[in-house]
Amino acid sequence: MDDYHITKELGDGSFGTVTQAQHKQTGKVGRDLMLALVHRIEQIKTFTNVAIKKMKKEFSSWEKVCELREFKALRSLPPHPNVIALLEAFYIQQTRELYFVFEYMEINLYQFIKDRKGKLLKERTVQSIIFQILKGLHHIHSHGIFHRDMKPENILISTKKKTICNCTNRSDSICNSKQCQNAPWIEHIKTIQDINKSEDSDNYIVKVGDFGLARDIKSKPPYTEYVSTRWYRAPEVLLRSNTYSSPIDLWAVGTIMAELFSLKPLFPGQSEIDQLFKISEILGSPCIRPELSDGAGGGEWKDGVKLAKSLGFAFSQTTPKPLSKLFPQSTSSRFLEFISHLLRYDPRQRLTALDALKHPYFVESNFIFVPQHEPEDIKTIGMEKKRKNGNFLPFKKNGGNLIPGDNKSNNIYSWSKAKDTQIYDANESYTSVNPTTVNCGSPISIDLRRFQLPDD
């Protein structure tokens, strides 16, 4: 491969195979994307390790690639520290193969939990992980997308080595001073053991990944009945509702949070019916109001009872279990209150991602949510807040067209986040481009040898 050196295979899933690779020219991939994530552009470190995902499905044309939900979702999302970054996408017309190049993260949350080997996490560490997941989800939801497949395997985690800041002489991951010459960036620790050895709650980097099942919130139902892994599936999905939306992601966050505290799944159902029984054993029947002081119970859900009846299923008349019995004694009452508002039967009663971020459970522990739009001292071109037809509109600078070109060679197409995203000073003026001129990507000439994986 000309630009990437494959180092090892990471996994093989139903949609594609993933390999770890190193970029041979530091800064070629991801530099502009990184500029959009920090307030300072001097001496910035960039991605050298990447994860390359080869899709198993074949695509007959570049236009078909552009229709892929995962590609559409990741292209339309502005960069965010808690959402996995798609750096490049390559389509080879002769072989109909599609490759995605992502930033590399060492492990997923499932591996992280498994490697704990029963050693419980500190509550503040759980708070930090969930807070970052919620920030990523809020970013996704606020841009009109819901994930539909939130589970530990799709939450990516690393740690960052701390660097001594020149101007404060303190250990900071990213200094806030514009004059700092150190300009440290995140350096990932490479092993699961190293990540689990870290007990510093501020040392974890958490990102939402895998947008293969993502949908536009405004898209018209019916939606696919089967989404997400069963244990993290919301009741409305289990009952075959085809009008669900973003609240299913918040239910999943509640189950993930419970698993982080206990290191075991909260609702480990063996089938969809068993999953509903597992849920009702803990949350009680959706026909019964919760009466316990710690917020136990999933609340009333008349629509759910009707859905169940239409499937020939009836909830047993069970009372909810006290949530305090499910978690370590050291667990705070604020946590019990918080998680009870995520695990509500009725999706309309669940917290939104934004509500969750502003909940006293986080605020009282000094986890303060600050909306991350455009950084103060840079502009991100190619990603306007207004959306049209599911995409962000590009800009042109002082009349100069910044829209990607439409040239290709050897029937190989490429899209690059760095090319789709330009960085300029905030003081410059911008005018929006007519959306009819926007195309899917930036086809360029690429050597086919880039995509040949090493022999076994």
Inside any domain, residue 369: no
The Cα angle at residue 210 between residues 350 and 2, in degrees rounded to 5: 160
> Smallest Cα–Cα separation from 153: which of 68, 276, 265?
265
CATH code, domain with 385: 3.30.200.20
Q: Can you give the pLDDT of all 456 residues of the chain as single tens digits? A: 467 788 888 877 777 888 888 877 654 554 444 443 333 223 334 556 888 999 989 999 988 998 888 888 888 888 899 999 888 888 888 899 999 998 888 899 999 999 998 899 999 999 999 999 999 999 999 999 988 899 999 999 987 644 434 444 444 444 444 444 333 333 343 444 555 555 555 678 999 998 888 887 766 555 554 445 789 999 999 988 887 888 999 999 999 999 999 999 999 999 888 999 999 999 998 876 655 545 568 888 888 888 888 888 888 888 888 888 889 888 899 999 999 999 999 999 999 999 999 999 999 998 988 886 543 332 332 333 333 343 333 322 332 222 233 334 456 666 666 554 433 222 323 222 222 223 454 433 333 333 333 333
Residue 180 and residue 311 in one domain: yes
Rg from Cα positions in the chain: 23
The Cα angle at residue 271 between residues 267 and 276, in degrees rounded to 5: 50
Inside any domain, residue 149: yes
Residue 98 and residue 112 in one domain: no
Domain residues for the domain of 28 are: 4-104+374-451
Residue 248 and residue 336 in one domain: yes
d(CA 240, CA 238): 5
pLDDT tens by residue, 48-77: 688 899 998 999 998 899 888 888 888 888
Boundary of a domain, candidates 330, 363, 396: 363
Inside any domain, residue 368: no
Q: Is 54 left (phi over 0), alpha (psi -120 to 50) or beta?
A: beta
pLDDT tens by residue, 132-174: 999 999 999 999 998 889 999 999 998 764 443 444 444 444 4
d(CA 42, CA 63): 37
Residue 26 and residue 79 in one domain: yes
Give me the residues paired with residue 171 across strands. Answer: 164
Q: Give the number of domains in the chain.
A: 2
Residue 418 and residue 300 in one domain: no
Identify whether 149 is a catalytic site residue: yes
Give pTM, 2 decimals.
0.74
Q: Select which of 149, 210, 249, 420 is catalytic.
A: 149
CATH code, domain with 121: 1.10.510.10
Residue 305 and residue 157 in one domain: yes
